[in-house]
Structure 1
Amino acid sequence: MENTLVDKTFRDSDGNIVIAQMPNPPLIVWVVASLLSLVLTNGKINAVLDFVANGSLFTWAWMELFQGVNYFRRALGLAVLIGMIASKVI
């Protein structure tokens, strides 16, 4: 079977099309910390939750960029990293 660009972009090593996966721990931590920061809006707790959320999202994006199962997942990690950096710069 020939590996085309479409196969490399959307298929994993087993030949399955992978666009979405079960969330891994950094992504779960990001969701929980982000939701809690919306509820707890004042004080140091909010700052800590924001730090934890950004750190876990960065970790998830870094893992996807270098360990993603296909080119799509790696591009998704790169896009999130670029978006995070752009949101902090602007």
Structure 2
Amino acid sequence: MENTFINKTFRDSNGEIVLAQMPNPPLIVWIVASTLALVFTEGKINTVLDVLANGSLFTWAWMELFQGVNYFRRALGLAVFIGIIASKVI
């Protein structure tokens, strides 16, 4: 297989096209905490769930940005990372 930009963008080291993967633990924690935050909408538990959700999504984005299997996954991590920061600043 040629080492082209398209291959580096969408293929992993085994030559497989990777756009989505099974969720890793930080992403699972984010999904669960975000869902529970919809149930517990006020109080300290909501604050804890919000911090847990944001922290786990930040961790997932950081992992994708620096350990993603291809350029697409790294760009996805960067986009989520910027989105998290922008949502807190605005």
For Structure 1 versus Structure 2, the TM-score category normalised by the shorter chain is over 0.9
TM-score under structure 1 length normalisation: 0.99
How many residues are matched?
90
After TM superposition, list the pairs within 5 Å mapping 1:8-87 onto structure 2: 8-87=8-87
Q: Which amino acid aligns with 1:56?
A: S
Residue type matched to 2:4 in 1?
T
The amino acid across from 2:11 in the alignment is: R
Inter-partner Cα distance in structure 1 for 2:69 and 2:18: 8
Q: Aligned-pair distance for 1:42?
A: 1.2
Measure the CA separation in 1 of the matches of 2:58 and 2:78: 10
Runs of 4+ aligned residues of structure 1 deviating over 2 Å after TM superposition are none
Stretches of structure 1 that go unaligned for 5 or more consecutive residues are none
In 2: Cα distance, 1:85 partner to 1:68 partner: 20
TM-score, structure 2 as length reference: 0.99
Amino acid at match of 2:34: S
Aligned letter for 2:14? D
Shift of 1:41: 0.5
For residues 30 and 18 of structure 1, what CA distance do their matches in structure 2 show?
22
In structure 1, how many angstroms separate the alpha carbons of the residues matched to 2:82 and 2:52? 18
1:15 counterpart letter in structure 2? G
The percent of aligned pairs where both chains have the same amino acid is: 82
Unaligned runs of 5+ in 2: none
